[in-house]
Structure 1
Protein backbone atom coordinates (compact mmCIF):
# COMPACT_ATOMS: atom_id res chain seq x y z
CA UNK A 1 0.00 0.00 0.00
CA UNK A 2 2.86 2.30 0.89
CA UNK A 3 4.50 1.56 -2.49
CA UNK A 4 1.31 2.47 -4.35
CA UNK A 5 0.94 5.71 -2.39
CA UNK A 6 4.56 6.62 -3.05
CA UNK A 7 4.08 5.98 -6.75
CA UNK A 8 0.98 8.21 -6.77
CA UNK A 9 2.85 11.04 -5.05
CA UNK A 10 5.76 10.66 -7.47
CA UNK A 11 3.35 10.77 -10.42
CA UNK A 12 1.69 13.94 -9.13
CA UNK A 13 5.08 15.60 -8.63
CA UNK A 14 6.11 14.62 -12.17
CA UNK A 15 2.82 15.99 -13.58
CA UNK A 16 3.25 19.26 -11.67
CA UNK A 17 6.83 19.60 -12.91
CA UNK A 18 5.66 18.99 -16.49
CA UNK A 19 2.90 21.60 -16.13
CA UNK A 20 5.34 24.10 -14.64
CA UNK A 21 7.74 23.50 -17.54
CA UNK A 22 5.17 24.81 -19.99
CA UNK A 23 5.64 28.51 -20.76
CA UNK A 24 2.48 30.54 -20.26
CA UNK A 25 1.77 33.65 -22.33
CA UNK A 26 -1.14 36.08 -22.29
CA UNK A 27 -2.02 37.63 -25.65
CA UNK A 28 -4.15 40.79 -25.66
CA UNK A 29 -5.41 42.01 -29.02
CA UNK A 30 -8.90 43.43 -29.56
CA UNK A 31 -12.62 43.10 -28.89
CA UNK A 32 -14.13 39.63 -29.09
CA UNK A 33 -15.71 39.10 -32.50
CA UNK A 34 -13.31 41.45 -34.29
CA UNK A 35 -10.86 40.30 -36.96
CA UNK A 36 -7.91 41.07 -34.69
CA UNK A 37 -9.34 38.95 -31.88
CA UNK A 38 -9.73 36.15 -34.42
CA UNK A 39 -6.10 36.66 -35.43
CA UNK A 40 -5.06 36.37 -31.78
CA UNK A 41 -6.88 33.05 -31.51
CA UNK A 42 -5.17 31.85 -34.69
CA UNK A 43 -1.77 32.89 -33.31
CA UNK A 44 -2.46 31.06 -30.06
CA UNK A 45 -3.34 27.89 -31.95
CA UNK A 46 -0.16 28.17 -34.05
CA UNK A 47 2.18 28.17 -31.06
CA UNK A 48 4.16 24.98 -30.23
CA UNK A 49 3.03 22.63 -27.46
CA UNK A 50 5.50 24.10 -24.98
CA UNK A 51 3.77 27.50 -25.12
CA UNK A 52 0.32 27.86 -23.53
CA UNK A 53 -1.36 31.04 -24.79
CA UNK A 54 -4.37 32.66 -23.14
CA UNK A 55 -6.16 35.18 -25.38
CA UNK A 56 -7.65 38.16 -23.55
CA UNK A 57 -10.27 40.51 -24.94
CA UNK A 58 -9.21 44.15 -25.20
CA UNK A 59 -10.97 47.43 -25.72
CA UNK A 60 -8.27 48.60 -28.10
CA UNK A 61 -4.60 49.28 -28.65
CA UNK A 62 -4.37 52.13 -26.13
CA UNK A 63 -5.41 49.74 -23.36
CA UNK A 64 -2.94 47.14 -24.66
CA UNK A 65 -0.05 49.61 -24.52
CA UNK A 66 -1.04 50.95 -21.08
CA UNK A 67 -1.09 47.46 -19.58
CA UNK A 68 2.51 46.91 -20.70
CA UNK A 69 3.52 49.04 -17.69
CA UNK A 70 1.92 46.70 -15.14
CA UNK A 71 1.99 43.23 -16.70
CA UNK A 72 4.76 40.68 -16.36
CA UNK A 73 7.14 39.06 -18.80
CA UNK A 74 4.41 36.74 -20.10
CA UNK A 75 2.50 39.64 -21.68
CA UNK A 76 2.16 39.93 -25.48
CA UNK A 77 -0.04 42.54 -27.13
CA UNK A 78 -0.81 44.06 -30.52
CA UNK A 79 -0.61 47.74 -31.43
CA UNK A 80 0.28 50.09 -34.27
CA UNK A 81 3.97 51.09 -33.94
CA UNK A 82 2.95 54.75 -34.05
CA UNK A 83 0.94 54.31 -30.85
CA UNK A 84 3.88 52.70 -29.05
CA UNK A 85 5.98 55.66 -30.19
CA UNK A 86 3.49 58.12 -28.71
CA UNK A 87 3.55 56.23 -25.41
CA UNK A 88 7.34 56.16 -25.33
CA UNK A 89 7.45 59.93 -25.96
CA UNK A 90 4.59 60.73 -23.55
CA UNK A 91 2.49 62.42 -26.25
CA UNK A 92 -1.18 62.64 -27.27
CA UNK A 93 -3.37 60.23 -25.26
CA UNK A 94 -0.34 59.26 -23.13
CA UNK A 95 0.61 62.82 -22.16
CA UNK A 96 -0.97 62.47 -18.70
CA UNK A 97 -0.06 58.79 -18.32
CA UNK A 98 3.66 58.80 -19.05
CA UNK A 99 5.70 55.94 -17.65
CA UNK A 100 9.38 54.99 -17.96
CA UNK A 101 8.20 51.40 -18.50
CA UNK A 102 6.97 52.29 -21.99
CA UNK A 103 10.67 52.28 -22.93
CA UNK A 104 10.74 48.55 -22.13
CA UNK A 105 8.33 47.64 -24.98
CA UNK A 106 9.96 45.46 -27.64
CA UNK A 107 8.63 44.25 -31.01
CA UNK A 108 8.32 40.58 -31.98
CA UNK A 109 6.75 40.35 -35.46
CA UNK A 110 4.28 42.17 -37.73
CA UNK A 111 0.68 41.05 -38.17
CA UNK A 112 -1.84 42.08 -40.88
CA UNK A 113 -2.15 45.85 -41.33
CA UNK A 114 -5.37 47.87 -41.13
CA UNK A 115 -5.91 48.60 -44.82
CA UNK A 116 -8.11 51.35 -46.22
CA UNK A 117 -10.68 50.28 -48.83
CA UNK A 118 -12.78 52.72 -50.87
CA UNK A 119 -15.47 50.51 -52.41
CA UNK A 120 -17.70 51.90 -55.17
CA UNK A 121 -20.53 50.45 -57.27
CA UNK A 122 -19.09 49.82 -60.73
CA UNK A 123 -22.02 51.53 -62.47
CA UNK A 124 -20.99 54.85 -60.87
CA UNK A 125 -17.83 55.05 -63.04
CA UNK A 126 -15.68 56.19 -60.14
CA UNK A 127 -11.92 55.68 -60.37
CA UNK A 128 -10.56 58.69 -58.42
CA UNK A 129 -11.49 60.62 -55.31
CA UNK A 130 -12.61 63.55 -57.48
CA UNK A 131 -15.16 61.23 -59.10
CA UNK A 132 -16.89 60.82 -55.74
CA UNK A 133 -18.30 64.34 -55.94
CA UNK A 134 -22.07 64.19 -55.76
CA UNK A 135 -22.07 60.54 -54.63
CA UNK A 136 -23.51 59.00 -51.48
CA UNK A 137 -20.74 57.57 -49.29
CA UNK A 138 -21.06 55.52 -46.09
CA UNK A 139 -18.17 56.05 -43.67
CA UNK A 140 -19.57 54.37 -40.57
CA UNK A 141 -19.06 55.75 -37.08
CA UNK A 142 -16.34 55.71 -34.42
CA UNK A 143 -13.91 53.32 -36.10
CA UNK A 144 -10.41 53.95 -37.44
CA UNK A 145 -11.79 53.53 -40.97
CA UNK A 146 -14.53 56.09 -40.36
CA UNK A 147 -12.10 58.66 -38.95
CA UNK A 148 -9.62 58.06 -41.74
CA UNK A 149 -12.35 58.22 -44.39
CA UNK A 150 -13.58 61.54 -43.04
CA UNK A 151 -10.01 62.85 -43.06
CA UNK A 152 -9.53 61.84 -46.68
CA UNK A 153 -12.78 63.49 -47.76
CA UNK A 154 -11.44 66.78 -46.40
CA UNK A 155 -7.89 66.18 -47.60
CA UNK A 156 -8.95 65.60 -51.20
CA UNK A 157 -11.38 68.52 -51.48
CA UNK A 158 -14.64 66.64 -50.99
CA UNK A 159 -15.92 68.42 -47.90
CA UNK A 160 -19.56 69.27 -48.55
CA UNK A 161 -19.38 67.69 -52.01
CA UNK A 162 -20.41 64.15 -51.05
CA UNK A 163 -23.53 62.93 -49.28
CA UNK A 164 -22.34 61.17 -46.11
CA UNK A 165 -24.83 58.38 -45.36
CA UNK A 166 -26.09 58.25 -41.77
CA UNK A 167 -25.76 54.51 -41.19
CA UNK A 168 -23.57 51.93 -39.51
CA UNK A 169 -20.84 50.19 -41.48
CA UNK A 170 -22.56 46.85 -40.82
CA UNK A 171 -25.27 48.00 -43.26
CA UNK A 172 -22.81 48.95 -46.02
CA UNK A 173 -22.97 45.85 -48.22
CA UNK A 174 -26.77 45.65 -48.25
CA UNK A 175 -27.07 49.41 -48.84
CA UNK A 176 -24.61 49.23 -51.74
CA UNK A 177 -26.43 46.32 -53.37
CA UNK A 178 -29.81 48.02 -52.95
CA UNK A 179 -28.58 51.27 -54.49
CA UNK A 180 -29.07 53.24 -51.28
CA UNK A 181 -25.42 54.32 -51.34
CA UNK A 182 -22.84 54.63 -54.09
CA UNK A 183 -19.75 53.80 -52.05
CA UNK A 184 -18.49 52.85 -48.62
CA UNK A 185 -15.19 53.17 -46.76
CA UNK A 186 -13.82 50.42 -44.56
CA UNK A 187 -10.52 49.56 -42.89
CA UNK A 188 -9.54 45.95 -42.37
CA UNK A 189 -6.85 43.44 -43.14
CA UNK A 190 -7.21 42.35 -46.73
CA UNK A 191 -9.12 40.50 -47.94
CA UNK A 192 -11.68 42.31 -45.77
CA UNK A 193 -14.82 40.15 -45.26
CA UNK A 194 -17.28 42.96 -46.05
CA UNK A 195 -15.44 43.83 -49.27
CA UNK A 196 -15.37 40.15 -50.26
CA UNK A 197 -19.12 40.03 -49.71
CA UNK A 198 -19.73 43.23 -51.69
CA UNK A 199 -17.57 42.08 -54.61
CA UNK A 200 -19.15 38.62 -54.68
CA UNK A 201 -22.70 39.90 -54.90
CA UNK A 202 -22.35 42.85 -57.27
CA UNK A 203 -19.92 44.68 -59.54
CA UNK A 204 -17.70 46.98 -57.50
CA UNK A 205 -14.45 48.85 -57.99
CA UNK A 206 -11.79 49.99 -55.52
CA UNK A 207 -10.28 53.46 -55.74
CA UNK A 208 -6.51 53.25 -56.26
CA UNK A 209 -4.50 56.14 -54.85
CA UNK A 210 -1.64 58.04 -56.46
CA UNK A 211 1.69 58.23 -54.66
CA UNK A 212 1.08 61.94 -54.02
CA UNK A 213 -2.27 61.13 -52.38
CA UNK A 214 -0.65 58.46 -50.21
CA UNK A 215 2.06 60.94 -49.15
CA UNK A 216 -0.59 63.53 -48.28
CA UNK A 217 -2.27 61.14 -45.84
CA UNK A 218 1.02 60.52 -43.95
CA UNK A 219 0.07 56.85 -43.76
CA UNK A 220 1.95 53.78 -44.97
CA UNK A 221 1.62 52.83 -48.65
CA UNK A 222 0.23 49.35 -49.27
CA UNK A 223 -0.67 47.45 -52.44
CA UNK A 224 -3.67 45.12 -52.56
CA UNK A 225 -2.67 42.50 -55.16
CA UNK A 226 -4.79 41.96 -58.26
CA UNK A 227 -7.29 39.17 -57.79
CA UNK A 228 -7.73 39.76 -54.07
CA UNK A 229 -11.43 40.48 -54.70
CA UNK A 230 -13.82 39.24 -57.38
CA UNK A 231 -13.52 41.38 -60.50
CA UNK A 232 -10.35 43.15 -59.29
CA UNK A 233 -8.06 42.69 -62.28
CA UNK A 234 -5.40 45.24 -61.28
CA UNK A 235 -3.49 45.98 -58.10
CA UNK A 236 -4.88 48.73 -55.88
CA UNK A 237 -2.63 51.25 -54.15
CA UNK A 238 -3.99 52.40 -50.81
CA UNK A 239 -2.92 53.33 -47.28
CA UNK A 240 -2.55 51.26 -44.16
CA UNK A 241 -1.88 51.37 -40.45
CA UNK A 242 0.80 48.77 -39.63
CA UNK A 243 0.18 46.53 -36.61
CA UNK A 244 2.83 44.62 -34.66
CA UNK A 245 2.92 42.00 -31.90
CA UNK A 246 4.90 43.30 -28.90
CA UNK A 247 6.31 42.05 -25.62
CA UNK A 248 8.53 43.80 -23.07
CA UNK A 249 12.08 43.38 -21.79
CA UNK A 250 10.48 41.35 -18.97
CA UNK A 251 10.08 38.44 -21.41
CA UNK A 252 13.07 36.11 -21.50
CA UNK A 253 14.98 35.76 -24.76
CA UNK A 254 14.12 32.08 -25.23
CA UNK A 255 10.38 32.72 -25.10
CA UNK A 256 10.60 35.70 -27.47
CA UNK A 257 12.69 33.57 -29.86
CA UNK A 258 10.22 30.66 -29.71
CA UNK A 259 7.18 32.90 -30.29
CA UNK A 260 8.81 34.66 -33.24
CA UNK A 261 10.11 31.49 -34.87
CA UNK A 262 6.76 29.74 -34.45
CA UNK A 263 4.96 32.64 -36.12
CA UNK A 264 7.14 32.68 -39.23
CA UNK A 265 7.27 28.87 -39.40
CA UNK A 266 3.47 28.67 -39.30
CA UNK A 267 2.65 31.74 -41.39
CA UNK A 268 2.00 29.76 -44.59
CA UNK A 269 -0.39 27.47 -42.72
CA UNK A 270 -2.08 30.49 -41.13
CA UNK A 271 -2.54 31.94 -44.62
CA UNK A 272 -4.20 28.78 -45.88
CA UNK A 273 -6.83 29.19 -43.16
CA UNK A 274 -7.21 32.99 -43.39
CA UNK A 275 -5.82 34.89 -46.38
CA UNK A 276 -5.10 38.08 -44.42
CA UNK A 277 -1.88 36.43 -43.19
CA UNK A 278 -0.61 36.29 -46.77
CA UNK A 279 -0.13 40.06 -46.66
CA UNK A 280 2.45 39.75 -43.87
CA UNK A 281 6.01 39.65 -45.21
CA UNK A 282 9.45 40.30 -43.67
CA UNK A 283 9.40 43.66 -45.47
CA UNK A 284 6.81 44.85 -42.92
CA UNK A 285 9.56 44.85 -40.29
CA UNK A 286 10.57 48.18 -41.82
CA UNK A 287 7.44 49.68 -40.19
CA UNK A 288 8.80 49.00 -36.69
CA UNK A 289 9.96 52.29 -35.20
CA UNK A 290 11.15 51.02 -31.81
CA UNK A 291 13.47 48.18 -30.82
CA UNK A 292 12.98 44.49 -31.53
CA UNK A 293 13.25 42.05 -28.62
CA UNK A 294 16.72 40.42 -28.45
CA UNK A 295 15.14 36.95 -28.61
CA UNK A 296 13.29 37.89 -31.79
CA UNK A 297 16.45 39.45 -33.22
CA UNK A 298 18.23 36.14 -32.70
CA UNK A 299 15.64 34.45 -34.90
CA UNK A 300 15.87 37.11 -37.62
CA UNK A 301 19.66 36.83 -37.68
CA UNK A 302 19.47 33.03 -37.99
CA UNK A 303 16.85 33.28 -40.74
CA UNK A 304 18.81 35.94 -42.64
CA UNK A 305 15.90 38.38 -42.42
CA UNK A 306 16.91 42.03 -42.61
CA UNK A 307 15.67 44.30 -39.85
CA UNK A 308 15.92 48.11 -39.57
CA UNK A 309 19.17 49.25 -37.97
CA UNK A 310 17.17 51.46 -35.61
CA UNK A 311 15.31 48.40 -34.30
CA UNK A 312 18.41 46.42 -33.37
Structure 2
Protein backbone atom coordinates (compact mmCIF):
# COMPACT_ATOMS: atom_id res chain seq x y z
CA UNK A 1 0.00 0.00 0.00
CA UNK A 2 2.82 2.38 0.86
CA UNK A 3 4.44 1.61 -2.47
CA UNK A 4 1.11 2.28 -4.23
CA UNK A 5 0.76 5.68 -2.51
CA UNK A 6 4.38 6.48 -3.29
CA UNK A 7 3.86 5.73 -6.98
CA UNK A 8 0.72 7.89 -7.09
CA UNK A 9 2.52 10.76 -5.35
CA UNK A 10 5.43 10.47 -7.78
CA UNK A 11 3.08 10.46 -10.78
CA UNK A 12 1.21 13.51 -9.50
CA UNK A 13 4.47 15.27 -8.79
CA UNK A 14 5.76 14.57 -12.29
CA UNK A 15 2.50 15.81 -13.84
CA UNK A 16 2.63 19.05 -11.86
CA UNK A 17 6.31 19.46 -12.72
CA UNK A 18 5.63 18.94 -16.43
CA UNK A 19 2.73 21.41 -16.32
CA UNK A 20 4.90 24.06 -14.70
CA UNK A 21 7.60 23.45 -17.30
CA UNK A 22 5.09 23.73 -20.13
CA UNK A 23 3.72 27.05 -18.89
CA UNK A 24 5.99 30.06 -19.35
CA UNK A 25 5.39 33.28 -17.42
CA UNK A 26 6.18 36.57 -19.15
CA UNK A 27 6.18 40.04 -17.64
CA UNK A 28 5.03 42.73 -20.07
CA UNK A 29 5.99 46.24 -18.97
CA UNK A 30 3.65 48.64 -20.72
CA UNK A 31 2.46 52.14 -19.81
CA UNK A 32 0.19 53.93 -17.35
CA UNK A 33 -3.07 52.10 -16.71
CA UNK A 34 -5.01 55.07 -18.08
CA UNK A 35 -3.31 54.89 -21.48
CA UNK A 36 -4.34 53.07 -24.65
CA UNK A 37 -1.00 51.24 -24.59
CA UNK A 38 -1.89 49.55 -21.32
CA UNK A 39 -5.14 48.39 -22.90
CA UNK A 40 -3.15 47.08 -25.87
CA UNK A 41 -0.94 45.12 -23.48
CA UNK A 42 -3.98 43.52 -21.87
CA UNK A 43 -5.30 42.59 -25.33
CA UNK A 44 -1.95 41.03 -26.26
CA UNK A 45 -1.94 39.09 -22.98
CA UNK A 46 -5.38 37.64 -23.65
CA UNK A 47 -4.60 36.87 -27.29
CA UNK A 48 -1.32 35.08 -26.50
CA UNK A 49 -2.95 33.04 -23.74
CA UNK A 50 -5.65 31.90 -26.15
CA UNK A 51 -3.28 31.21 -29.03
CA UNK A 52 -0.90 29.10 -26.92
CA UNK A 53 -3.57 27.28 -24.88
CA UNK A 54 -2.24 29.03 -21.75
CA UNK A 55 1.33 27.79 -22.33
CA UNK A 56 2.42 31.44 -22.38
CA UNK A 57 0.96 33.59 -19.62
CA UNK A 58 1.61 37.33 -19.76
CA UNK A 59 1.35 39.49 -16.66
CA UNK A 60 0.97 43.16 -17.57
CA UNK A 61 2.76 45.71 -15.39
CA UNK A 62 2.05 49.43 -15.28
CA UNK A 63 4.91 51.73 -16.20
CA UNK A 64 5.58 55.42 -15.77
CA UNK A 65 7.15 55.66 -19.20
CA UNK A 66 9.41 54.24 -21.87
CA UNK A 67 12.65 55.34 -20.18
CA UNK A 68 11.74 53.30 -17.10
CA UNK A 69 10.94 50.32 -19.33
CA UNK A 70 14.38 50.45 -20.95
CA UNK A 71 16.19 50.96 -17.63
CA UNK A 72 14.53 47.92 -16.09
CA UNK A 73 15.65 45.71 -18.98
CA UNK A 74 19.11 45.68 -17.43
CA UNK A 75 17.93 44.14 -14.15
CA UNK A 76 14.86 42.06 -14.99
CA UNK A 77 14.71 38.36 -15.74
CA UNK A 78 14.82 36.45 -18.99
CA UNK A 79 11.11 36.74 -19.78
CA UNK A 80 10.84 40.51 -19.44
CA UNK A 81 9.09 42.20 -22.39
CA UNK A 82 8.71 45.95 -22.64
CA UNK A 83 7.55 48.60 -25.09
CA UNK A 84 9.42 51.69 -26.18
CA UNK A 85 10.23 53.74 -29.29
CA UNK A 86 13.31 52.35 -31.12
CA UNK A 87 15.07 55.70 -30.73
CA UNK A 88 15.23 55.24 -26.95
CA UNK A 89 16.91 51.86 -27.31
CA UNK A 90 19.51 53.44 -29.57
CA UNK A 91 20.12 56.21 -27.02
CA UNK A 92 20.46 53.68 -24.19
CA UNK A 93 22.95 51.58 -26.14
CA UNK A 94 25.04 54.63 -26.98
CA UNK A 95 24.75 56.15 -23.48
CA UNK A 96 23.34 59.43 -24.74
CA UNK A 97 20.67 61.96 -23.65
CA UNK A 98 18.64 60.64 -20.68
CA UNK A 99 20.96 57.61 -20.49
CA UNK A 100 24.19 59.62 -20.41
CA UNK A 101 25.11 58.77 -16.82
CA UNK A 102 23.10 55.55 -16.64
CA UNK A 103 24.91 53.39 -19.19
CA UNK A 104 24.72 49.63 -18.74
CA UNK A 105 26.32 46.97 -20.97
CA UNK A 106 23.12 44.94 -20.74
CA UNK A 107 21.38 47.51 -22.93
CA UNK A 108 23.32 45.94 -25.80
CA UNK A 109 21.42 42.71 -25.18
CA UNK A 110 18.03 44.30 -26.03
CA UNK A 111 16.33 42.60 -28.98
CA UNK A 112 13.13 43.51 -30.84
CA UNK A 113 10.13 41.19 -31.12
CA UNK A 114 7.31 42.95 -33.01
CA UNK A 115 5.81 46.39 -33.72
CA UNK A 116 2.66 47.62 -31.99
CA UNK A 117 0.52 50.62 -33.00
CA UNK A 118 2.54 53.81 -33.49
CA UNK A 119 1.81 57.17 -31.92
CA UNK A 120 0.36 59.11 -34.86
CA UNK A 121 0.21 62.89 -34.85
CA UNK A 122 -3.27 64.33 -35.44
CA UNK A 123 -3.78 68.01 -36.23
CA UNK A 124 -7.57 68.29 -35.93
CA UNK A 125 -9.41 71.44 -37.04
CA UNK A 126 -13.10 72.21 -37.35
CA UNK A 127 -14.56 72.69 -40.82
CA UNK A 128 -15.98 76.07 -39.81
CA UNK A 129 -12.46 77.29 -38.93
CA UNK A 130 -11.62 77.39 -42.64
CA UNK A 131 -8.22 75.82 -41.97
CA UNK A 132 -6.95 73.58 -44.77
CA UNK A 133 -3.20 73.78 -44.21
CA UNK A 134 -0.68 74.51 -41.48
CA UNK A 135 -0.11 78.04 -42.78
CA UNK A 136 -3.81 78.79 -42.30
CA UNK A 137 -3.55 78.09 -38.56
CA UNK A 138 -2.00 81.55 -38.21
CA UNK A 139 -4.21 83.70 -36.01
CA UNK A 140 -6.38 80.74 -35.00
CA UNK A 141 -6.92 79.29 -31.53
CA UNK A 142 -5.28 75.88 -31.22
CA UNK A 143 -5.12 73.56 -28.21
CA UNK A 144 -1.84 71.72 -27.62
CA UNK A 145 -2.37 70.42 -24.09
CA UNK A 146 0.46 70.01 -21.60
CA UNK A 147 3.17 67.52 -20.80
CA UNK A 148 2.30 64.84 -23.34
CA UNK A 149 4.31 63.66 -26.34
CA UNK A 150 1.63 65.16 -28.60
CA UNK A 151 1.92 68.56 -26.90
CA UNK A 152 5.72 68.62 -27.18
CA UNK A 153 5.67 67.41 -30.76
CA UNK A 154 2.94 69.88 -31.72
CA UNK A 155 4.93 72.77 -30.25
CA UNK A 156 7.99 71.59 -32.19
CA UNK A 157 6.09 71.60 -35.48
CA UNK A 158 4.66 75.05 -34.85
CA UNK A 159 8.24 76.34 -34.57
CA UNK A 160 9.53 74.27 -37.51
CA UNK A 161 6.79 75.47 -39.84
CA UNK A 162 7.23 79.18 -39.03
CA UNK A 163 4.14 79.60 -36.85
CA UNK A 164 5.76 80.42 -33.52
CA UNK A 165 3.97 83.35 -31.82
CA UNK A 166 1.48 83.40 -34.70
CA UNK A 167 -1.04 81.00 -33.16
CA UNK A 168 -3.32 81.67 -30.21
CA UNK A 169 -2.54 78.72 -27.94
CA UNK A 170 -5.61 77.78 -25.89
CA UNK A 171 -5.10 77.27 -22.17
CA UNK A 172 -7.42 74.28 -21.94
CA UNK A 173 -6.69 70.70 -20.93
CA UNK A 174 -6.56 68.21 -23.79
CA UNK A 175 -9.32 66.21 -22.10
CA UNK A 176 -11.64 69.14 -22.86
CA UNK A 177 -10.58 69.45 -26.51
CA UNK A 178 -13.66 67.88 -28.09
CA UNK A 179 -16.31 69.94 -26.25
CA UNK A 180 -14.19 73.08 -26.73
CA UNK A 181 -14.04 72.39 -30.47
CA UNK A 182 -17.78 71.72 -30.68
CA UNK A 183 -18.78 74.93 -28.94
CA UNK A 184 -16.31 77.07 -30.90
CA UNK A 185 -13.92 77.88 -28.04
CA UNK A 186 -11.05 76.60 -30.17
CA UNK A 187 -10.44 76.15 -33.89
CA UNK A 188 -8.44 72.94 -33.53
CA UNK A 189 -6.40 70.68 -31.31
CA UNK A 190 -3.28 68.54 -31.53
CA UNK A 191 -3.18 64.99 -30.22
CA UNK A 192 -0.97 61.94 -30.59
CA UNK A 193 -2.29 58.42 -30.42
CA UNK A 194 -2.67 55.17 -32.27
CA UNK A 195 -5.29 55.53 -34.96
CA UNK A 196 -8.21 55.62 -34.90
CA UNK A 197 -7.77 57.90 -31.88
CA UNK A 198 -10.86 57.95 -29.60
CA UNK A 199 -10.92 61.74 -29.16
CA UNK A 200 -10.64 62.26 -32.93
CA UNK A 201 -13.45 59.75 -33.53
CA UNK A 202 -15.60 61.69 -31.05
CA UNK A 203 -14.78 65.04 -32.65
CA UNK A 204 -15.46 63.76 -36.17
CA UNK A 205 -18.75 62.19 -35.16
CA UNK A 206 -20.05 65.22 -33.31
CA UNK A 207 -19.02 68.04 -35.63
CA UNK A 208 -17.38 68.49 -39.02
CA UNK A 209 -13.60 68.23 -38.70
CA UNK A 210 -10.53 67.85 -40.87
CA UNK A 211 -7.24 66.18 -39.93
CA UNK A 212 -4.44 68.05 -41.67
CA UNK A 213 -1.88 66.24 -43.81
CA UNK A 214 1.82 67.07 -43.81
CA UNK A 215 3.81 67.51 -46.99
CA UNK A 216 6.82 65.33 -47.70
CA UNK A 217 9.04 68.33 -46.98
CA UNK A 218 7.41 68.87 -43.59
CA UNK A 219 7.82 65.20 -42.71
CA UNK A 220 11.53 65.43 -43.53
CA UNK A 221 11.77 68.56 -41.36
CA UNK A 222 10.11 66.75 -38.45
CA UNK A 223 12.67 63.91 -38.55
CA UNK A 224 9.85 61.53 -37.69
CA UNK A 225 8.49 58.44 -39.43
CA UNK A 226 5.91 58.93 -42.18
CA UNK A 227 2.53 57.32 -41.55
CA UNK A 228 -0.62 57.20 -43.68
CA UNK A 229 -4.05 57.08 -42.04
CA UNK A 230 -6.32 55.47 -44.65
CA UNK A 231 -9.39 57.25 -46.03
CA UNK A 232 -12.53 56.39 -44.10
CA UNK A 233 -10.77 56.02 -40.75
CA UNK A 234 -12.75 58.99 -39.40
CA UNK A 235 -16.21 60.27 -40.26
CA UNK A 236 -16.10 62.61 -43.25
CA UNK A 237 -12.52 61.63 -44.16
CA UNK A 238 -12.60 60.99 -47.89
CA UNK A 239 -8.86 60.79 -48.56
CA UNK A 240 -5.71 59.47 -46.91
CA UNK A 241 -4.06 61.56 -44.21
CA UNK A 242 -0.28 61.80 -44.38
CA UNK A 243 1.23 62.50 -41.00
CA UNK A 244 4.16 61.64 -38.76
CA UNK A 245 4.47 58.99 -36.12
CA UNK A 246 6.58 57.70 -33.29
CA UNK A 247 7.00 53.94 -33.80
CA UNK A 248 6.61 51.72 -30.74
CA UNK A 249 8.14 48.25 -30.54
CA UNK A 250 7.87 45.33 -28.11
CA UNK A 251 11.34 44.25 -26.98
CA UNK A 252 12.95 41.51 -24.92
CA UNK A 253 16.63 40.59 -24.57
CA UNK A 254 19.07 37.84 -25.46
CA UNK A 255 18.26 36.31 -22.05
CA UNK A 256 14.91 35.15 -23.45
CA UNK A 257 15.29 31.74 -25.07
CA UNK A 258 14.62 31.41 -28.78
CA UNK A 259 11.62 29.10 -28.36
CA UNK A 260 9.80 31.58 -26.11
CA UNK A 261 10.52 34.52 -28.42
CA UNK A 262 9.36 32.48 -31.41
CA UNK A 263 6.13 31.33 -29.75
CA UNK A 264 5.30 34.82 -28.46
CA UNK A 265 5.93 36.47 -31.83
CA UNK A 266 3.97 33.81 -33.70
CA UNK A 267 1.02 34.11 -31.28
CA UNK A 268 1.00 37.91 -31.64
CA UNK A 269 0.79 37.88 -35.43
CA UNK A 270 -1.61 34.92 -35.50
CA UNK A 271 -4.05 36.81 -33.28
CA UNK A 272 -3.58 40.30 -34.75
CA UNK A 273 -6.59 40.06 -37.06
CA UNK A 274 -8.83 38.88 -34.24
CA UNK A 275 -7.61 41.77 -32.08
CA UNK A 276 -8.33 44.15 -35.00
CA UNK A 277 -11.94 42.98 -35.05
CA UNK A 278 -12.50 44.34 -31.55
CA UNK A 279 -9.91 47.14 -31.35
CA UNK A 280 -9.38 48.97 -34.67
CA UNK A 281 -5.93 50.29 -33.77
CA UNK A 282 -4.45 46.86 -34.53
CA UNK A 283 -5.55 47.28 -38.13
CA UNK A 284 -2.78 49.81 -38.67
CA UNK A 285 -0.04 47.33 -37.76
CA UNK A 286 1.70 45.34 -40.49
CA UNK A 287 4.99 43.54 -41.01
CA UNK A 288 6.06 46.55 -43.12
CA UNK A 289 6.58 48.27 -39.77
CA UNK A 290 9.54 45.99 -39.07
CA UNK A 291 11.49 48.59 -41.06
CA UNK A 292 10.99 50.95 -38.07
CA UNK A 293 13.24 48.71 -35.99
CA UNK A 294 16.74 50.16 -36.20
CA UNK A 295 18.46 47.42 -34.17
CA UNK A 296 18.67 43.68 -33.81
CA UNK A 297 15.63 41.40 -33.80
CA UNK A 298 15.58 38.46 -31.39
CA UNK A 299 16.71 35.25 -33.16
CA UNK A 300 13.53 33.47 -32.08
CA UNK A 301 11.36 36.21 -33.58
CA UNK A 302 13.58 36.33 -36.68
CA UNK A 303 12.99 32.60 -37.19
CA UNK A 304 9.25 33.23 -37.36
CA UNK A 305 9.62 36.11 -39.83
CA UNK A 306 11.82 34.02 -42.09
CA UNK A 307 9.25 31.21 -42.02
CA UNK A 308 6.67 33.77 -43.14
CA UNK A 309 8.86 34.74 -46.09
CA UNK A 310 9.74 38.15 -44.69
CA UNK A 311 13.18 39.45 -45.61
CA UNK A 312 14.93 41.13 -42.72
CA UNK A 313 17.57 43.80 -43.27
CA UNK A 314 21.22 43.43 -42.30
CA UNK A 315 20.72 45.72 -39.29
CA UNK A 316 18.23 43.24 -37.84
CA UNK A 317 20.71 40.35 -37.76
Q: Once the 2 structures are TM-superposed, how far is the Cα of residue 20 of structure 1 from its aligned partner? A: 3.4
**In the alignment, what sits opposite 2:193?**
188
Give deviations 1:246-273, integer Å, cap 9, x for gaps: 0000000000000111111111111111
Q: Distance in 1 between matches of 2:230 and 2:258?
A: 36
Q: How many residues were matched structurally?
A: 312
Q: How does 1:84-99 map to 2 (within 5 A)?
A: 84-99=89-104
Q: Once the 2 structures are TM-superposed, how far is the Cα of residue 130 of structure 1 from its aligned partner? A: 0.4
**In the alignment, what sits opposite 1:226?**
231
Coordinate RMSD, CA, aligned: 1.3
Match of 1:171 among 164, 176, 181: 176
Q: Distance in 1 between matches of 2:206 and 2:5?
A: 67
Q: Distance in 2 between matches of 1:188 and 1:159?
A: 24
Give deviations 1:253-304, integer Å, cap 9, x for gaps: 0000001111111111111111111111111001111100000110011100
Determine helix, strand or coil for the equivalent of 2:237.
coil
Q: How does 1:45-194 map to 2 (within 5 A)?
A: 45-47=46-48, 48=52, 49-194=54-199
Q: TM-score normalised to the size of structure 2?
A: 0.96
Whether 2:37 is the aligned partner of 1:36: answer: yes
Give deviations 1:13-33, integer Å, cap 9, x for gaps: 522431232011000010002
Whether 2:23 is the aligned partner of 1:18: answer: no
Q: Once the 2 structures are TM-superposed, how far is the Cα of residue 118 of structure 1 from its aligned partner? A: 0.3
Q: How does 1:143-292 map to 2 (within 5 A)?
A: 143-292=148-297
Q: TM-score normalised to the size of structure 1?
A: 0.97
Q: Which runs of 5+ in 1 are unaligned?
A: none
Q: Which runs of 5+ in 2 are unaligned?
A: none
Q: Once the 2 structures are TM-superposed, how far is the Cα of residue 310 of structure 1 from its aligned partner? A: 0.9
Determine helix, strand or coil for the equivalent of 2:132.
coil
Q: Once the 2 structures are TM-superposed, how far is the Cα of residue 306 of structure 1 from its aligned partner? A: 2.1
Determine helix, strand or coil for the equivalent of 1:112.
strand
Q: Which runs of 4+ in 1 moved over 4 A?
A: 1-6
Conserved? CA contact 1:81–1:287, under 8 Å: yes
Q: Distance in 1 between matches of 2:173 and 2:6?
A: 64
Q: Distance in 2 between matches of 1:20 and 1:297?
A: 24
